[in-house]
Structure 1
Amino acid sequence: MDHKPSLDRIDLKILEVLQRDGRLPFQRLSEQVNLTARPCLERVRRLEKAGIIKGYSAIVDLPQAAPALVVLAQVSLADHVVSQQAFTREIQGTPQVLDCWLVSGSFDFLLRIGCQHIDEYRQLADRWLASTAFHIEKILTTTELQQIKRDGTPRP
C-alpha cells in the first residue's frame, strides 16, 4: 500500500505494546490500550496492511551458536558509484555479518560481525580490503565487550 495512514494515540500505544511483546493475545493488548478486542484487532490488521507493522520476530539466544567475538566495523568506500552495490551484495551473502546499516557521516556502512576468533575477522577484512570491486578506503574496528540493550526488530 502506497499511502500510510496517520496514527492516533491508540495506534501509537498499540505499536509500543507490540514492540515489547509481539505475541500478546489481542484481549490483553486491547486491555492495555483501553479498547475492546474487535476494534483493537481491526487496528492491528490496518497497521499490518499499511506496512507499518512489517512482521513479528523472536529474539533468540543460543549460547552454543553465539560467536565468540563480535566486531563493530565502520567501512568507508573510496568510490560509492562503483562499489556500493557490489559491497552491499557481498555483505548480504556473508554469514558472519549479523547486521549492517548504510549510514551518513565519516563512514558509509556500520557492520556488526560475529566470528569465532580474531583471525576469522582479520581474513574477512583483508579479503574486503584487497578486493578491487569494493574500493574500500578504510575500516575502523571496535570489539563488542558486553550487550547492554538490543531491540531485535527486523529491518528489511
Structure 2
Amino acid sequence: MPAADTLDRIDLQLLAELQRQGRLSNAELAERVHLSPSACLRRVQRLERGGVIAGYRAEVDPERIGLGLTAFVRIRLNHHDAAAVADFAGSVNDWDEVVACHALTGDMDYLLQVVAADLEHFSSFLLDRVLARPGVGDVNSSFVLRTVKAMRGLPLPAG
C-alpha cells in the first residue's frame, strides 16, 4: 500500500485531477499529467490497489432528490464500554439518513451529519431512532442554513 511519503509529484497530480473530475478517460487523464496512457493506467491501478483511491461515486445534489434539510447531531452516550460503542456504531450504520458519523473528543461522543426531506422527517428520525436507542444520553442538533463550502476533495501535499 503506498504511503503518503511514497507518493510522487505525478501521483499527486493524478489524485488532484481525479478529485476534480473522476470520470476523466484514461487518455485525457494521461494527457493532463503528461504520461503515456499505459503508464497512467498502471499508476492509477497501483493507487487503487493500495487503497489511496478508495472508490468512485457520483456527487448527488441532495435538494434535487428531495433531501432539503441537513443537520448536525451531537450525541453523548451514557456508557462507553466496548459493547455500548459497538451497539451505537451498528445502529448508525443502519440509518440511511446519516451520511457521516465521527467519534469525537470533548463533551460529546459523536457528530452525525444527517440529511432528511424536511423537519417532519428529521423529527421522526430523531425521536423514533436516535432517542429510542438505549445508551443515548444527550442529543443536540443544529440545522444547516446555508452551505458555504462543501467537500470537493482532500488537500494534497505538495509534490
Give the TM interval when normalised to the shorter protein.
0.7 to 0.9
Q: What does 1:1-150 align with in structure 2 at a 5 Å threshold?
A: 3-4=1-2, 6-61=6-61, 63-81=63-81, 82-127=83-128, 128-132=130-134, 135-150=135-150
Equivalent residue number for residue 156 of structure 2:
none
Compute the RMSD of aligned alpha carbons.
2.2
Question: Are the structure 2 counterparts of residues 152 and 96 from structure 1 closer, same or farther at C-alpha, using a change threshold of 3 Å?
Answer: farther
Cα deviation per residue 1:98-122 (whole Å; 9 max; x = unaligned)? 2222233332211111233334433
Cα deviation per residue 1:57-112 (whole Å; 9 max; x = unaligned)? 11012645322322111112121213211111111112222222223333221111
Aligned residues: 149
SS at match of 1:80: coil
- Distance across 2 between alignment mates of 1:96 and 1:129: 15
TM-score by length of 1: 0.81
Compute the displacement of 1:130 (Å): 4.4
SS at match of 1:41: helix
Compute the displacement of 1:152 (Å): 6.4
Letter in structure 2 aligned against 1:17: E
Compute the displacement of 1:143 (Å): 0.3
Instruction: Give % identity.
Output: 30
- Distance across 2 between alignment mates of 1:57 and 1:109: 25
- Distance across 2 between alignment mates of 1:37 and 1:116: 44
- Distance across 1 between alignment mates of 2:27 and 2:45: 15
- Distance across 2 between alignment mates of 1:37 and 1:46: 14
Gaps of 5+ in 1: none
- Distance across 2 between alignment mates of 1:44 and 1:131: 43
Moved more, 39-48 or 121-130: 121-130
Question: Are the structure 2 counterparts of residues 64 and 54 from structure 1 closer, same or farther at C-alpha, using a change threshold of 3 Å?
Answer: closer
